[in-house]
């Protein structure tokens, strides 16, 4: 009896505790609705995401993470806009299918944020637009990618961003030449209150972390200011603290052209990779004394093993708070897990990486991590040669644009054996043909081989009169058609592809059960592999089997880079990680390959391997920017660009030129006939695209980016006018 009473008391306490937590969360949410809510949006918010928590307990745990709070504020801002689409995208009478630039400012000849990189946006309040007259205006920060000088800024911020602001839109908030003689070619990140900016500048063979404390109204585009270097406080701004990347542990030339810094709010720490494949850690970044963590054998952490023609660079890292890990990809095609405290060396003496490597060539973008579902998503223009259909557990299809889903490892060492799922975002395939002109005789052979480097050996099929062993092909006397049908069945089964019928499972004798067909004198057999692996034939048949001239190693074109896709709002709002994931892959028709949007379902946090082809967006192979998703309260949209060869005909409607930015409504699933919501020409395509808050002020819900090549920039009030790399804010009209 006493035991039952004690148990009931414990259960009562548990429910009471849960009720208190829930009540506190409701109170916190109510308070959050009334108080000032600033919001930072930078590259990292597209890589660390939160689908809806499944329980109040999980939600209460996530409230301790600053990025989750920012996520909630961002989604709440979107919800507040329901039914007010007319003011968010209100710039009629612009062309209803034209993505219009509200402003564009010349940052200098050749300036760009860079492919796969993002501007950083600070909004003082998610519910209102703050112009230059406000005590703290909203502003957006652009790196220029150019060497700084007395007339060229390395990093710039603009305020007075919106069309509802008085006094000229935009205005230069501050502009700095850091004075280091280098370039900032990756994305900047902001402190929580927006008062400081961190970025990496590379000068010669050295990378430097810069922590900048800006001061409003200092510097112009034509005459940027050089901040003082050293002790830096709000009273001495504009000022900067600089830390040269450590060369310990063999990191001899730590430049950085690919890795944007990831700031950890709760720990005031920062992680960033370099071009030698080392991961660096810094502490005391915004709130203390900025210092790099250096430890022999551990920090900086050596990860990549090097790639021919490159040093094995790292991409942008992502810190996962719940497991205290940093997840980062490299251009060696590997996904690494690093203990954020200890460093990158495992107990076995090497880096902890997923086996096998997933991408060949390597990754161009960092991972997307969904903290809620515990999943990691990786996008590659070509799966590696180690991903083979016949070599479990390293199963899959090599040489093809793909998305991989991987579990967040419980600890860095566990990543070695984490399972993965491959979703193919392409229908590229290679085919070779063999013609059977005469019925083969016993012991005739044909050898068919996918030709990817390091892949499985080619398969030799032997023609027999009685099936006895694997890869035997039954001869049907007097019938080339029946015999060829048996050969086709064996090839289809072993390749793991079923492009032609019949197709049986991979048994020991694959063609058992092939049905007889009509007799014929000449029959063509096709071997097909997906991706760039190619198909090769060889034969010993006394001329009874001839090979087509199309055999050999074939390689359909791949994009020059593959950046991340995006989840739709259905997924982001789902309580169990269910929705759709959009990506830019490839589509092949005959001998021609194009860029196309694909999507796949995510069901309770598990990616579906059955992908669906959406609209084709180029007329020849090109590359896409990262995809950005945003629900503006009335419609869910994705934004992306292509670097060249855009489709100009309906329903895509890009302007002929070198690049095009476009948006699609994804309230309903895309099809091959889906059209754009809006488009605009952008030279060379665009950087990553930042979408800001949903405010009721005119022009206060926009997209920000730079083109990847020079084009005319309109400027504002005689400032920023010219042909160069433009900092652009664009609004989208006619999207109701």
Beta strands in 262-367 (DSSP E): 262-264, 269-273, 278-283, 291-292, 301-302, 318-320, 325-329, 335-339
Contact between 377 and 343 under an 8 Å Cβ cutoff? The reply is no
Please measure the distance between the N-terminal and C-terminal CA atoms of the chain and give it in whole angstroms: 66
Q: How confident is the model at residue 111 (pLDDT cuts 50, 70, 90)?
A: very high
Residue 429 has what pLDDT? 64
Span 692-710, average pLDDT: 74
DSSP H or E segment with residue 5: helix 2-34
Contact between 175 and 153 under an 8 Å Cβ cutoff? The reply is yes
Question: Is the pLDDT confidence value at 667 over 90?
Answer: yes
Max Cα distance, the chain (Å)? 95
Residue 87 has what pLDDT? 28
Question: Is the pLDDT confidence value at 120 over 60?
Answer: yes
For 172, 364, 427, 508, 702, the CA distances from 404, given in Å and listed in that order, are: 42, 14, 17, 30, 31
Residue 500 has what pLDDT? 36
| Residues facing residue 631 across a β-bridge | 636
479-501 in b/e burial notation, b at 16+ Cβ within 10 A? bbbbbbbbbbbbbbbbbbbeebe
Residue 314 has what pLDDT? 96
Domain for residue 542, yes or no?
yes
Residue 341 has what pLDDT? 95
394 Cβ neighbours under 8 A, 6+ residues apart:
355, 356, 386, 387, 388
Angle at 273 between CA 268 and CA 279, to 5 degrees: 75
Residue 310 has what pLDDT? 46
Q: How confident is the model at residue 600 (pLDDT cuts 50, 70, 90)?
A: very high
Contact between 41 and 121 under an 8 Å Cβ cutoff? The reply is yes
Q: How confident is the model at residue 497 (pLDDT cuts 50, 70, 90)?
A: very low
Domain for residue 454, yes or no?
yes
User: What token pair was written down for 603?
Assistant: 């069901």
Residue 537's CB: how many other CB atoms inside 10 A? 21
Residue 48 has what pLDDT? 95
Question: Is the pLDDT confidence value at 572 over 50?
Answer: yes
Residue 564 has what pLDDT? 98
Kindly report, residue by residue over 279-312, the tens digit of the pLDDT: 999 999 999 999 999 998 899 999 986 544 445 8
User: What token pair was written down for 16?
Assistant: 């009471």
Contact between 187 and 120 under an 8 Å Cβ cutoff? The reply is yes
Residue 235's CB: how many other CB atoms inside 10 A? 7
Q: Percent helix, strand and coil across the chain, each rounded to 5?
A: 15, 35, 55
User: What token pair was written down for 568?
Assistant: 């739709």
User: Over the Cα atoms of the chain, what is R_g?
Assistant: 28
Using left for φ > 0, alpha for ψ between -120 and 50, and beta otherwise, residue 689 falls in beta
Q: Tell me how far apart the alpha carbons of residues 249 and 214 are, in angstroms, rounded to a whole number.
A: 34
Sign of the alpha-carbon torsion through 311, 312, 316, 318: negative
Residue 379 has what pLDDT? 98
Q: Tell me how far apart the alpha carbons of residues 685 and 728 are, in angstroms, rounded to a whole number.
A: 13
239-244 and 206-213 beta bridge pairing: antiparallel
Domain for residue 503, yes or no?
yes
Residue with tokens 């954020």: 340
**Which residue in 51, 63, 50, 52 sits closest to 22, CA to CA?**
63
Helices of type H across 504-594: 569-573
Q: Is the pTM of this model over 0.85?
A: no
Beta strands in 248-332 (DSSP E): 262-264, 269-273, 278-283, 291-292, 301-302, 318-320, 325-329
Domain for residue 473, yes or no?
yes
Sign of the alpha-carbon torsion through 678, 682, 685, 686: negative
Kindly report, residue by residue over 137-160, the tens digit of the pLDDT: 999 999 999 999 999 999 999 999
Contact between 601 and 441 under an 8 Å Cβ cutoff? The reply is no
Q: How confident is the model at residue 457 (pLDDT cuts 50, 70, 90)?
A: low
Q: Tell me how far apart the alpha carbons of residues 460 and 690 are, in angstroms, rounded to a whole number.
A: 53
Q: Tell me how far apart the alpha carbons of residues 146 and 175 are, in angstroms, rounded to a whole number.
A: 13
DSSP H or E segment with residue 8: helix 2-34
Residue 387 has what pLDDT? 80
Residue 305's CB: how many other CB atoms inside 10 A? 13
Size of the chain, expressed as the number of residues it contains? 736
Domain for residue 443, yes or no?
yes
Helices of type H across 525-655: 569-573
Span 708-728, average pLDDT: 95
Lowest mean pLDDT among 57-61, 92-96, 297-301, 619-623: 92-96
| Residues facing residue 552 across a β-bridge | 535
Question: Is the pLDDT confidence value at 511 over 50?
Answer: no
Q: Tell me how far apart the alpha carbons of residues 368 and 33 are, in angstroms, rounded to a whole number.
A: 29
Domain for residue 517, yes or no?
yes
Residue 78 has what pLDDT? 60
Lowest mean pLDDT among 99-103, 584-588, 610-614: 99-103
Question: Is the pLDDT confidence value at 495 over 80?
Answer: no
User: Can you state the angle between helices 2-34 and 66-79, rounded to 10 degrees?
Assistant: 60
Span 407-419, average pLDDT: 92
Domain for residue 268, yes or no?
no
Could you please report the per-residue DSSP string of 68-134?
Answer: HHHHHHHHHHHHTTTT-HHHHT--TTS-TTBEEEEEEEE--TT----TT---EEEES-TTS---TTS
Number of domains in the chain: 1
**Which residue in 610, 616, 559 sits closest to 580, CA to CA?**
610
Q: Tell me how far apart the alpha carbons of residues 435 and 178 are, in angstroms, rounded to a whole number.
A: 68
For 297, 406, 533, the CA distances from 244, given in Å and listed in that order, are: 19, 34, 43
Mean of all residue pLDDT scores within the chain: 82
Q: How confident is the model at residue 228 (pLDDT cuts 50, 70, 90)?
A: very high
- Residue 483: domain span: 429-547
Question: Is the pLDDT confidence value at 433 over 80?
Answer: no
Question: Is the pLDDT confidence value at 486 over 50?
Answer: yes
Residue 477 has what pLDDT? 84
301-302 and 291-292 beta bridge pairing: unpaired
Domain for residue 460, yes or no?
yes
User: What token pair was written down for 377?
Assistant: 């998503």
């Amino acid at each position: 009896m006493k035991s039952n009473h004690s148990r009931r008391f414990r259960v009562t306490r548990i429910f009471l505790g849960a009720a208190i937590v829930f009540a506190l969360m409701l109170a916190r949410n109510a308070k959050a609705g009334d108080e000032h809510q600033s919001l930072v949006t930078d590259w990292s918010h597209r890589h660390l995401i939160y689908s809806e928590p499944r329980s109040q307990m999980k939600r209460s745990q996530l409230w301790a993470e600053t990025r989750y709070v920012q996520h909630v504020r961002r989604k709440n801002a979107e919800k507040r806009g329901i039914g007010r689409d007319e003011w968010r995208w209100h710039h009629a009478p612009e062309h209803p299918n034209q993505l219009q630039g509200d402003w564009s400012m010349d940052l200098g000849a050749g300036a760009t944020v860079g492919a796969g990189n993002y501007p950083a946006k600070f909004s003082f309040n998610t519910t209102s637009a703050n112009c230059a007259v406000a005590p703290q205006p909203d502003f957006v920060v652009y790196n220029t990618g150019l060497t700084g000088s007395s007339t060229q800024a390395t990093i710039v911020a603009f305020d007075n961003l919106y069309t509802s602001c008085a006094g000229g839109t935009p205005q230069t908030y501050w502009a700095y030449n850091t004075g280091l003689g280098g370039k900032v070619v990756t994305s900047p990140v902001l402190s929580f209150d927006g008062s400081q900016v961190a970025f990496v500048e590379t000068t010669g063979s050295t990378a430097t972390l810069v922590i900048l404390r800006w001061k409003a109204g200092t510097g112009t585009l034509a005459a940027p200011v050089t901040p003082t270097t050293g002790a830096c406080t709000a009273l001495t701004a504009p000022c900067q603290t600089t830390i040269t990347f450590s060369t310990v542990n063999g990191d001899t030339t730590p430049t950085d052209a690919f890795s944007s810094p990831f700031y950890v709010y709760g720990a005031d720490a920062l992680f960033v990779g370099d071009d030698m494949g080392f991961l660096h850690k810094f502490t005391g970044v915004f709130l203390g004394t900025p210092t790099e963590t250096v430890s022999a054998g551990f920090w900086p952490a050596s990860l990549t093993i090097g790639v021919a023609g490159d040093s094995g660079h790292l991409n942008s890292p992502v810190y996962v708070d719940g497991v205290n890990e940093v997840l980062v990809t490299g251009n060696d095609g590997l996904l690494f897990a690093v203990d954020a405290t200890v460093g990158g060396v495992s107990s076995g003496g090497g880096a902890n990486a997923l086996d096998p490597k997933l991408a060949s060539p390597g990754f161009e973008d960092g991972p997307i991590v969904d903290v809620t579902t515990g999943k990691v998503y990786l996008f590659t223009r070509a799966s590696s040669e180690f991903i083979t259909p016949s070599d479990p557990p390293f199963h899959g299809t090599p040489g093809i644009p793909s998305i991989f889903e991987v579990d967040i490892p419980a600890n860095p060492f566990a990543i070695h054996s984490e399972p993965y799922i491959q979703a193919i975002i392409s229908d590229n395939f290679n085919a070779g043909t063999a013609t059977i002109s005469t019925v083969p005789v016993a012991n005739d052979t044909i050898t068919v081989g996918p030709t990817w480097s390091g892949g499985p050996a080619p398969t030799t099929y032997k023609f027999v009169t009685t099936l006895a062993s694997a890869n035997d092909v039954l001869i049907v006397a007097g019938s080339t058609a029946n015999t060829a049908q048996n050969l086709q069945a064996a090839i289809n089964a072993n390749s793991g592809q079923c492009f032609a019928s019949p197709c049986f499972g991979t048994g020991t004798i694959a063609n058992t059960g092939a049905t007889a067909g009509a007799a014929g004198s000449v029959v063509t057999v096709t071997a097909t592999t997906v991706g760039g692996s190619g198909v090769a034939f060889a034969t010993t048949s006394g001329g009874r089997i001839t090979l087509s001239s199309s055999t050999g190693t074939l390689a359909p074109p791949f994009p020059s880079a593959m950046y991340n896709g995006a989840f739709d709002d259905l997924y982001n709002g789902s309580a169990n990680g269910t929705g759709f994931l959009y990506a830019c892959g490839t589509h092949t028709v005959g001998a021609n390959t194009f860029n196309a949007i694909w999507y796949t379902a995510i069901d309770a946090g598990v990616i579906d391997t059955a992908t669906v082809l959406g609209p084709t967006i180029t007329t020849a192979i090109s590359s896409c920017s990262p995809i950005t998703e945003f629900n503006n309260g009335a419609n869910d949209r994705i934004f992306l660009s292509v670097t060249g060869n855009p489709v100009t005909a309906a329903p895509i409607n890009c302007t002929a030129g070198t690049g095009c930015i476009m948006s699609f409504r994804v309230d309903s699933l895309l099809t091959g006939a889906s059209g754009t919501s809006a488009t605009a020409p952008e030279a060379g395509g665009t950087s990553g695209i930042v979408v800001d808050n949903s405010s009721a002020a005119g022009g206060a819900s926009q997209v920000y980016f730079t083109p990847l090549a020079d084009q005319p920039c309109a400027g504002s009030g005689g400032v920023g006018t010219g042909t160069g790399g433009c900092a652009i804010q664009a609004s989208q009209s006619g999207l109701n």
